[in-house]
Structure 1
Amino acid sequence: NGDWAFSRERDWGTPLNIWHCGSCDAQNLAERKPLERECVGSVEELKAKPGISGIEGLSDLHRPYIDEVTYDCPQCGAEMRRVPEVIDCWFDSGAMPFAQWHYPFENQALFEERFPADYICEAVDQTRGWFYSLHALSILLKEQPCFSNVICLGHILDATGEKMSKSKGNVVTPEEVLDASGADALRWYLYTSSPPGNVRRFSGELVEEVVRKFLLTLWNTYSFFVTYANIDKFDPRTSVSQEGLPELDRWILSELNQLVDRVTRSLDQYDPTGAGRMIEDFVQDLSNWYVRRSRRRFWKSENDADKQAAYTTLYQCLVTLAKLLAPFTPFIAEELYQNLVRSVDKSAAESVHLTDYPQADLSQVDEELSADTRLAMTVSSLGRSARAKANLKVRQPLAKVLVKVRSKREQAGLNRMASQVLEELNVKRVDVTIGVPATAVTAEGLPPTIEVELDTNIDQKLADEGLARELVHRLQTMRKQAGFDIADYIETYYQGGDSIQRVMREFASYIRQETLSQTLTQGSPPDGAFAKSHTIDGDEVVLAVKRVSG
């Protein structure tokens, strides 16, 4: 970098603390000698100058007051006056680590304790602005940088990657985004859309996508918990033994503690983007695997140990998420904390922002269980894709699925998770073999893919079970359309052909349990029932639901 000419010909600013003698200047110029200047280092030093005038009672050292302070020239006795320039404002910014403590005139011990700063954050243009001036003064005065870590932000562009400009009409004001999506959504997008140093595209639509993909997923998971916890009057202060927890609970708690560990390490390394994306992934797994696979545990009428374990596990996940999210999305985190924690424990910290950040319990981490569950999730995803390609709804049971894995370890892991795959893919049997054909291998020496093949032959028994599931789906939808509460018991009425009547008889227990139907009655519905006609596999069926009074 070139020399920094930090004087400025302006009226306002930190006065350049240099005095000169006009008489000596004239003589030196005539004799072609260098001009002499005196740099005054403090008010006390200035007061000690010979013939000092204008300093008594002076409380404001800015212009024009400081310009009236004069003293006698030590060379010729003539009047010394301050030069008219002020200091570049970037010098003031660069002096911030020292000036904030009035160092070195005061607070020497406090300064040494706080210097250098842990962290600084600004946009990339400050590499030649504030970052530079901080470095220049700190190296000059202390021979070391004044901050240990820096996050240097890239610039924000419009949705097409163009620089925002009023003349182009592509400026997105913060107010319109805040009004439409909220502060937490804006913060989360800026944290997670790209690493800090990269430029990032920005629009209201991109922020709204954050709401749909992350914040609503989190909120729906929280809402699901609150709904059923209120129905069952769950008390989070009730202890549940960690011994003998269901495998699904142990898996999500393992994932939770790994998340806490990784997020903490990412934030310690000043990587909020990586930390945020890990939280995002966890919320997706919590909602789309743990909660979805645990729904029946919350729905069932028995308030047994399994249901208590599910409540306690999900509660722990949500409270921990609230604390993890507090630096990222302070408002949603506070809302979760106040309802989940403060509503049941008035002695708890008044705010989530006054709690300790979570600490990982690595004793709960089960890496083998995590790997096996991840494999089951992969197989389930592949199986659902195969169903979609074959135009087979997940509600239609199938006889079996053949999975070809890459190693004995994967075979053992998938056999361990077989019950979950059976339910996810709605199949009766999982056959796991080793031997995926591959033309390439991974770094671990394994073929790069897993193969999933569905048996798509559907006999009458499977078809009837699929119809039963379809009827349950239609009845559940009608419950919502009728405005019934999720805990309301109903009476169900049906009219249809032989297949409908057969399925209603053979799967009566299943249909009643899934729909909270006290009765399944063939025939016309009574007055006041909510009725709809349906076409299922080409057959006409009339279904009706009526809430049971009392």
Structure 2
Amino acid sequence: PESTGTGRFGKWLENLNDWNLSRSRYWGTPLPIWRTEDTGEEICIQSVEELYNEIEKSVAAGFMKSNLYKDKGFVPGDYNAENYNKIDLHRPYVDDIVLVSKTGKPMKRETDLIDVWFDSGAMPYAQIHYPFENKEILDRGEVYPADFIAEGVDQTRGWFFTLHAIAAMVFDTISFKAVVSNGLVLDKFGNKMSKRLGNAVDPFSTIEQYGSDPLRWYMITNASPWDNLKFNTEGIEEVQRKFFGTLYNTYSFFALYANVDGFEYKEADIPISERPEIDRWILSVLHSLIRETDACYNDYEPTKAGRLISDFVNDNLSNWYVRLNRKRFWGGEYSQDKISAYQTLYTCLETVARLMAPIAPFYADRLYIDLITATKRDNVISVHLAKYPAYNANMVDAELEIRMQTAQDITSMVLALRRKVNIKVRQPLQRIMIPVINDEQRKHIEAVNNLIISEVNVKEVNFVDGGTAGILVKKVKCDFKKLGPKFGKQMKAVAKAVEDMSQEAIAELEKEGKYTFNLEGATVVVETTDVEIINEDIPGWLVANEGKLTVALEVTITEALRHEGIARELINRIQNIRKSSGFEITDKIRMVLSKNPQTDGAVN
């Protein structure tokens, strides 16, 4: 983040002091410098092979009895681990080596060590044994500089600095292109974890209890990596239930019916133009997701990517697509419509597995392998070897996404109103009423009218032209924190004018996003962001408002509606009994209902 980059790190570089490279320690990486006693001659050893050869010269000069590396069977130029395990280049063992100067004087090693941060800063070269091996791939820029590094913010003066310092000194370049600087993990109250306070969480027991992927998904989606995280195990449980549980149930639903019908994706892809609108919609949203998550990952924003994937799985795939299309998977012929449903849901699950793999590697791998094992649509042994999903702009239908989002918003509002008065969705209601503010909004709602009726279980959707005036009563409440600084001494007059706004004026405010008052000869403009628009329920109706969308639900239940609700409740109870009795979905059953005055009218 900028606060670490140009802030903490930038300030450190601006006030940079010389790097004291040496350290006085008993064990560590030695400074490879040998000097004569009078410091008049010295040598800096550049490789183990050079040291080996210099020891040979020292043996010949009589300063060493033998080459201790040769005695141990070490072979210069042989870079395998077995060969290097024969020797130890650390202090104090290397201090036994005495070399000979050009003038024949003995040379002993400088006793100090190299700062351990030099070891860390040399990591990009040491890990590939540069320049003795792999010199070409580093020089060509194939493995260097790093795309990004990840460490805590406390590494600003350590690893972040030494990586660049060595790169600048040796190659006159940078060592890495970006840093993901990790914040601290705090307890759920925002306090630093410590054994003394007894608020530390053991990561291993947490992984054992919840699994590594739910833990990782929780930590990454709950806060950006560079922000401090208030750790709460309840959050992991919520991730387990809401995301992983939902995704598992979605896959289980697909697998259950795919196995019944023998779907293995052997059929040719049904053209997008021939698929139902609901299939085209979810595939459009899927490709929008691919585009957005790819951008997030490239911008080092895994938190945003994870949240986008969660929202897609929960809100669009499970709670909308699967729920609206259950009947397409149930029974019936193996028709083109059913194949389209299978292909669409399979594509969504397979793509989600690849998108989530960087955050939940184990779960994604299992999901992907289970899918491709049945269909043979890929031959990789892991999702991490599969190609990342490719965005296809031709699959995106922005207009369709807007229409469906409108249906989702209206559905969400109506279901919230039902919960407000404890009316189950199984209980039919007569109508909802939607005041439309323009022709475009009406067109979008009309296109998904039947879908809304089915989802919220009402008989009809009525439109009211000209906004809410005359139908719904609204009031406007000032946000004084925003309006106070904006209008100052005029605030009292503005508040009075807002309080006295007519329904027509409120409708104009909603439609245009602002409203102009003339107060004592002065023009005052109030915007929707400056106020809160409140709906007042009318008798027999409940009203909800979100932005430019207002919905009224008639909550009066007639006798006919009550009977229909009882019938739906009966069906639900019977289905639950089927499930608890262990019946398969293909089993047909016979049932007997006892007479009951409360249900007889609903089933006769």
TM-score by length of 2: 0.76
Distance 1:168 1:229 in 2: 53
| 2:217 maps to 1:202 | no
| 2:337 maps to 1:306 | yes
Pairing 1:372-387 to 2, within 5 Å after superposition: 372-387=403-418
Cα 1:496–1:412 shift into 2, 3 Å? same
Distance 2:398 2:310 in 1: 20
Residue in structure 2 matched with residue 10 of structure 1 by the alignment: 25
Distance 2:322 2:131 in 1: 59
| 2:194 maps to 1:165 | yes
Task: Answer with 42-51 or 208-217: which moved more.
Answer: 42-51
Cα 1:444–1:223 shift into 2, 3 Å? farther
Distance 1:338 1:66 in 2: 51
Residue in structure 1 matched with residue 262 of structure 2 by the alignment: 233
Amino acid at match of 2:286: L
Distance 2:436 2:42 in 1: 82
Distance 1:494 1:108 in 2: 83
Pairing 1:255-266 to 2, within 5 Å after superposition: 255-266=285-296
Give a deviation string over 1:161-212, Cα, whole Å, max 9, x none. 2211112222211221122111211121122111010011224332222101
Deviation of 1:88 (Å): 1.2
Amino acid at match of 2:124: P
Task: Answer with 492-501 or 304-313: which moved more.
Answer: 492-501
Give a deviation string over 1:70-109, Cα, whole Å, max 9, x none. 44567x9753322211111111110112223333455332
Distance 2:243 2:586 in 1: 28
Cα 1:66–1:331 shift into 2, 3 Å? closer
From 466, 480, 493, the counterpart of 2:592: 493
From 228, 250, 256, the counterpart of 2:280: 250
Task: Answer with 401-410 or 372-381: which moved more.
Answer: 401-410
Pairing 1:332-411 to 2, within 5 Å after superposition: 332-345=363-376, 348-411=379-442
Cα 1:391–1:73 shift into 2, 3 Å? closer
* Two-structure CA RMSD over aligned residues (Å): 2.7
From 476, 483, 492, the counterpart of 2:582: 483
Deviation of 1:41 (Å): 4.8
Distance 2:156 2:375 in 1: 49
Deviation of 1:411 (Å): 1.5
SS in 2 for 1:19: strand
Deviation of 1:433 (Å): 3.7
SS in 2 for 1:360: coil
Distance 2:352 2:574 in 1: 35
Distance 2:445 2:377 in 1: 45
Task: Answer with 151-160 or 298-307: which moved more.
Answer: 298-307
Give a deviation string over 1:315-336, Cα, whole Å, max 9, x none. 1111111222222222222222
2:27, 2:92 within 8 Å by CA — same for their partners in 1? no
Give a deviation string over 1:424-464, Cα, whole Å, max 9, x none. 11111112345254585699779634111012233333222
| 2:103 maps to 1:99 | no
Cα 1:298–1:215 shift into 2, 3 Å? same
Distance 1:38 1:440 in 2: 84
1:415, 1:432 within 8 Å by CA — same for their partners in 2? no
Q: How many residues align?
A: 493
From 430, 440, 454, the counterpart of 1:423: 454
Deviation of 1:414 (Å): 0.8
Task: Answer with 39-48 or 82-91: which moved more.
Answer: 39-48
SS in 1 for 2:300: coil
2:511, 2:548 within 8 Å by CA — same for their partners in 1? no
Residue in structure 2 matched with residue 463 of structure 1 by the alignment: 562
1:157, 1:202 within 8 Å by CA — same for their partners in 2? yes
The percentage of aligned residue pairs carrying the same residue is 41
Residue in structure 1 matched with residue 137 of structure 2 by the alignment: 110
Task: Answer with 465-474 or 45-54: which moved more.
Answer: 45-54
Residue in structure 2 matched with residue 521 of structure 1 by the alignment: none
Amino acid at match of 2:157: R
Residue in structure 2 matched with residue 19 of structure 1 by the alignment: 34
Deviation of 1:48 (Å): 6.8
Residue in structure 2 matched with residue 282 of structure 1 by the alignment: 312
Pairing 1:70-85 to 2, within 5 Å after superposition: 70-71=98-99, 78-85=105-112
Residue in structure 2 matched with residue 544 of structure 1 by the alignment: none
Cα 1:347–1:405 shift into 2, 3 Å? closer
Distance 1:341 1:81 in 2: 64
1:177, 1:207 within 8 Å by CA — same for their partners in 2? no
2:328, 2:338 within 8 Å by CA — same for their partners in 1? yes
Amino acid at match of 2:222: S
Amino acid at match of 2:351: T
1:15, 1:62 within 8 Å by CA — same for their partners in 2? yes
Distance 2:413 2:511 in 1: 19
From 523, 537, 550, the counterpart of 1:451: 550
2:41, 2:101 within 8 Å by CA — same for their partners in 1? no
The runs of 5 or more residues in structure 1 that have no matched partner are 25-35, 506-550
